Amino acid sequence: MIHDFNYLKPGSVKEAFEMYAEHDDCKVICGGQSLLIVMRQGMVAPEYLLDIKGLDELRYIKFDDKDGLRIGATTTHREIEKSQVIKEKYPVLALMETKLASIQTRNWGTIGGNLAHADPAGDPAPVLIALNANIKVGGKNGERTMALEDFFIDYFETALDKGELVLEVHVPIPQPKTATAYQKFNLLDSDMGIVAVAASITLNNDDTCKDARIVLGNAAPTPKRMKNVEQLLIGKKFDENLFAEAGKISYDESEPVADIHASEEQRRHLLGVLTKRMIKKAWEQARTVA
Amino acid sequence: MEKRALKLSVNGEEYEVFVNPKTLLVEVIRDHLGFTGTKRGCETVSCGACTVMVNGASVKSCSILAVQVEGMEVTTVEGLEKDGQLSPIQKAFLDHGSYQCGFCTPGMLMSATAFLDENKGREVTEHEIREGIEGNICRCTGYNSIVRAIDAVAKGTYKEE
């Protein structure tokens, strides 16, 4: 049963900032595909609900050869999945979206809402962090941009200050010879990942690893960047034993919790396997891109 | 709690209802307007029994605030038939026995309709059809007959009249 709330519907981003600043105990809803579930469970019961779903100012996908990709907060998952420019320039993002929940959820749920909800099992965050994305947030007192990996603080907790909204995700142009791979492990296609791994690999011309960004999903309270794995890979050549070693680091350093879907041990095991496979997959793809 | 006036179109008719803002779209459709074809199933965005179309896109009406569809066009399963004629996918469901208990059927029909609309004029694979109904659970597990019905419509076996 959803508790009563007062409904606030701003007509513009500016008005949303003002309304949000004026009202204490106010929660923001966009697509509400996650929020309404926890509201129905009574876990979230705000006095005010600020509805930004209708703010089309924030509904856009822009791409520029120098600047990269900018996705507005109220853009739906389905719009990202179907975007021709994203399919071309950031195929891993579009692929990730096809596996995010169900079509119905993707039709209504938004990228900004997904990130602000900060569920550690969310799909977009690990992929976007592997792609070196930034997030723009803002409120009445101005806007600020941070690396997406710094946005997540704890389970369902973000770096958003009081009165701030998520405004935009920015994905820079990848370095040359870069590819990114993502896979989650789940039992049903439309489920959340039991665990997930995103790997971005950049190669030098001699096929050694120039740069790597490895991110685990649902392996810790927040998306977990694996710097020790990255350090292990940089400078090395393609080597199955190296990838197995990388998987071992994910196994050891992840901090998953057990729940009804999988034990901690099983999650560690899966994270190790997926780390190995995603690095290999991204590496092989990176060889083929310009 | 202050009620709000909400205008929306359902199956081509304009309606105005007064609702508590926490009212879900499925509640407006079923309880305020009496379109009980749309089912309440899991109520956690999982099962798809409550699927309707909003501005042509399939959504789960159990997890959308009704006030969020202000001014939009909602289509429920009741809106699929035209002038007493079942839509192609409805006929195909009948012919292929694509239901057992029938509880998932309205949601399946809506997802199937959205899928067919999106893929009009191109060949679809069985895998794509299955992905098209990924958000709908049939607890009688009658997926094969549902997939066959969608496939038949996609192949043009049923003409829109």
The predicted model scores a pTM of 0.96
Of chain A, the percentage scoring pLDDT greater than 90 comes to: 97
Q: How far is CA A40 from CA A36, A193, B62, B66, B125, in A?
A: 6, 23, 11, 15, 38
**Same domain for B65 and B97?**
no
Total domains present in chain A? 3
pLDDT of res. B141: 92
Chain A residues lying within 8 Å of B135, measured CB to CB: 101-105, 190
Residues B113 and B60 in one domain: no
Q: What is the average pLDDT across A45-73?
A: 98
Contact B21 A49 (CB under 8 A): yes
Chain B interface test: which of A40, A103, A105 (most B C-beta within 10 Å): A103
Identify whether A182 is part of a domain. yes
Shared domain check, B23 and B40: yes
* Residues on chain A touching B65 (C-beta within 8 angstroms): 7, 29, 32, 36, 51
> Which pLDDT score is estimated for A1?
85
What is the overall mean pLDDT for chain B?
96
Task: Say if residue A233 is in the same domain as residue A155.
Answer: no
CATH of the domain at B38: 3.10.20.30
- Are B46 and B74 in the same domain? yes
From A33, which residue of chain B is nearest by alpha-carbon distance? Answer: B63
Q: Is the pLDDT of residue A93 over 70?
A: yes
Q: Are residues A100 and A14 in the same domain?
A: no
Q: Are B22 and B52 within one domain?
A: yes
Pair B21, B68 in one domain: yes
| pLDDT of res. B160 | 65
Read off the pLDDT of each residue in A213-225 and give the average, rounded to a whole number.
98
Q: Give a yes or no: residue B159 inside a domain.
A: no
With a cut of 90, say whether residue A188 has pLDDT above it.
no
For A30, the domain range is 6-51
A-chain CB neighbours of B114 within 8 Å are 103
Q: Is B160 part of any domain? A: no
A contacts of B24 (beta carbons < 8 Å): 2, 36
| A1 within a domain of the structure (yes/no) | no
Q: What is the domain count for chain B?
A: 2
- B33 close to B17: Cβ distance less than 8 angstroms: yes
| More confident site: A187 or A18 | A18
Q: Give the whole-angstrom CA distance, residue A120 versus residue A185.
A: 14
Q: Mark whether A134 and A231 lie in a shared domain.
A: no
CATH of the domain at B110: 1.10.150.120
List pLDDT tens digits, range B16-59. 999 999 999 999 999 999 999 999 999 889 999 999 999 999 99
Can you tell me the distance from the alpha carbon of A206 to that of A199, in angstroms, rounded to the nearest whole number?
20
CA of B65 to nearest chain A CA: how many angstroms apart?
Answer: 8
Report if residue A158 sits inside a domain. Answer: yes
Where a domain ends, among A36, A51, A66? A51
Domain end position, chosen among A171, A198, A217: A171
Residue-number span of the structural domain to which B139 is assigned:
88-154
Residue A3 at interface with chain B, using a CB cutoff of 8 Å: yes
Q: Which two tokens stand for residue A120?
A: 């550690």
Q: DSSP alpha helices (H): ranges in chain A?
A: 13-22, 35-40, 77-82, 84-89, 91-98, 103-108, 111-117, 124-130, 227-233, 240-253, 264-288
Query: Is A56 at the interface with chain B, CB within 8 A?
Result: no
* Structural contact between residues B105 and B99, judged by C-beta atoms closer than 8 angstroms: yes
One domain, residues B106 and B43: no
| CB nearest to A105's CB, from B45, B54, B67 | B45
Residue B34 and residue B99 in one domain? no
* ipTM above 0.90 for this complex: yes
Indicate whether A280 pLDDT > 90: yes
Question: If you count them, how many residues does chain A have?
Answer: 290
